[in-house]
Amino acid sequence: MDFALSAEQQQIRDMVSEFVDEEVVPVADEIDHTDEFPQALVDEMAELGLMGMPFPEEYGGAGLDYHSYAIGIEEISRGSGGLGTVVAAHTSLAGNMLYEFGDESQKESYLTPLAAGEDVGAFALSEAGAGSDVPSMETAAEREGDEYVINGGKLWISNGSVADTVTVFAKTDPDAGNKGISSFVVRPEADDGFIVENTEEKLGDKGCPTAELRFDDLRVPEDRLLGEEGEGFVQALKTLNGGRITIAARSLGIARAAFDEAREYAGEREQFGQPIGEFQSIKHKLADMDTKIQAARMLMHKAADKKIRGEDYIKDSSQAKLYASEISREVANEGIQIHGGYGYTKDFPAERFYRDAKLNEIYEGTSEVLRNTIGDQLLDN
């Protein structure tokens, strides 16, 4: 087993790291303060090929392997957790739905501008009464001639208010349970009946708008159906399974930022005549923080490796996301502790890292759901 990055992967990491240090880190606090969608940074990432990293070049992507994509998300999230979510939701969810389940015409029309960064994507699955319990969704799509008419609403949709393309899940057969769910490509600007009700005020993840959407007799042509009717639930599970690798990457990026800030502070802050980093208790905190980060990265790349090989990676991606998300919050918490009173203020970014880290344990599979998934995999094998 080779733990070293390939020359291409190292090049990707260095390129994204340089971009983050020069363009993202200097404005991260401003993004957190204003909570405005960072369109200028998204445009810059599009120019660098970061909005379609894992997609083939024929569809406008960069043609990178999933290791390189995860490395890119980790670096972006190190600069801004919200920006990491923007890219992950756009790529792993919306873009991957089209890549995996769209026909050639749909890929050409909708995936290509997403992968090139000309459009922004969103993935509309969750509802107020259907978060982890997807089959409980109430959004419905009725066939009328050569169109589908969608009515209902979605909640907690990352990029939902700024997206050019949204993959929407709705019930085409209300009596068929999870086998009655289908997915559609929706174009908010062109499709009447697509309504952004509001965007959420969140604890963290600033810069990535989280929208509540409503569909009021939203008509989409039949050629916007992804795959066949009734395949939406399985499509969503497969897409989220891959997405969990990138949430592990987001978690790692935030944990690294928290660790780097804490280590630097520990070397500068003096108490009792010496840097606090000289005290054993602080050394032990830093040692544990770094060890957790290294372990989480191994789990992430193990899941990415299985995905690349075409092997079953449900358990692996769930473990990677579960562990990375929880250690991200733990590392960020210790970062605040090392900063002491300053860590609880906005004078240092330690508190921002903590707020951004918490989301990792909630979206794309809560820690509780992931433990069930892992347990099911262990008992079924």
Q: Per-residue pLDDT tens for 50-89? A: 999 999 999 999 999 999 999 999 999 999 999 999 999 9
What is the percent of the chain where pLDDT is above 70? 99
∠ CA(313), CA(84), CA(212), 5° rounding? 95
Q: Output the pLDDT for position 381.
A: 65
Q: Output the pLDDT for position 1.
A: 65
Q: Output the pLDDT for position 75.
A: 98
Tell me how far the alpha carbon of residue 358 is from its chain's centroid.
13
∠ CA(37), CA(101), CA(362), 5° rounding? 45
Q: Per-residue pLDDT tens for 5-38? A: 999 999 999 999 999 999 999 999 999 999 999 9
- Can 364 be counted among the known catalytic residues? yes
User: How would residue 214 be classed by pLDDT, with cut points 50, 70 and 90?
Assistant: very high
Asked if 148 and 220 touch (Cβ cutoff 8 Å), the reply is yes
Helix and strand tally (H, E) in the chain? 13, 10
Please compute the mean of the pLDDT values over residues 258-276 and round it to a whole number: 98
Q: Output the pLDDT for position 2.
A: 77
- Pairwise CA distance, residues 302 & 225, whole Å: 33
The token pair at 328 is 């991200």
- Pairwise CA distance, residues 369 & 133, whole Å: 10
Q: Output the pLDDT for position 62.
A: 98
Q: Which of 290, 366, 367, 300 is nearest to 334 (CA)?
A: 290
The token pair at 191 is 């499709």
What is the percent of the chain where pLDDT is above 90? 98
- Pairwise CA distance, residues 264 & 214, whole Å: 46
Element (H or E) spanning 183, and its range?
strand 181-186
Up-side HSE of residue 116: CA atoms within 13 Å toward CB?
13
Asked if 74 and 250 touch (Cβ cutoff 8 Å), the reply is yes
Q: Output the pLDDT for position 258.
A: 98
3-class DSSP state for residue 159? coil
Q: Which candidate in 74, 334, 351, 364 is catalytic?
A: 364
Is the pLDDT score of 97 beyond 70? Answer: yes
Q: What is the mean pLDDT of the chain?
A: 97
User: How would residue 380 be classed by pLDDT, with cut points 50, 70 and 90?
Assistant: confident
Is the pLDDT score of 102 beyond 90? Answer: yes
The token pair at 351 is 């508190």
Up-side HSE of residue 323: CA atoms within 13 Å toward CB?
22
Continuous H helices in the chain: 7-19, 28-34, 39-48, 66-79, 81-88, 96-101, 104-106, 112-115, 232-268, 280-309, 314-339, 350-358, 367-380
Domains of the chain in sequence order: 7-120 (1.10.540.10), 122-230 (2.40.110.10), 233-380 (1.20.140.10)
Q: Per-residue pLDDT tens for 151-205? A: 999 999 999 999 999 999 999 999 999 999 999 999 999 999 999 999 999 999 9
The token pair at 211 is 């929208």
Torsion of CA 95, 97, 100, 106, to 10 degrees: -80
Q: Per-residue pLDDT tens for 121-132? A: 999 999 999 989
Is the pLDDT score of 245 beyond 90? Answer: yes
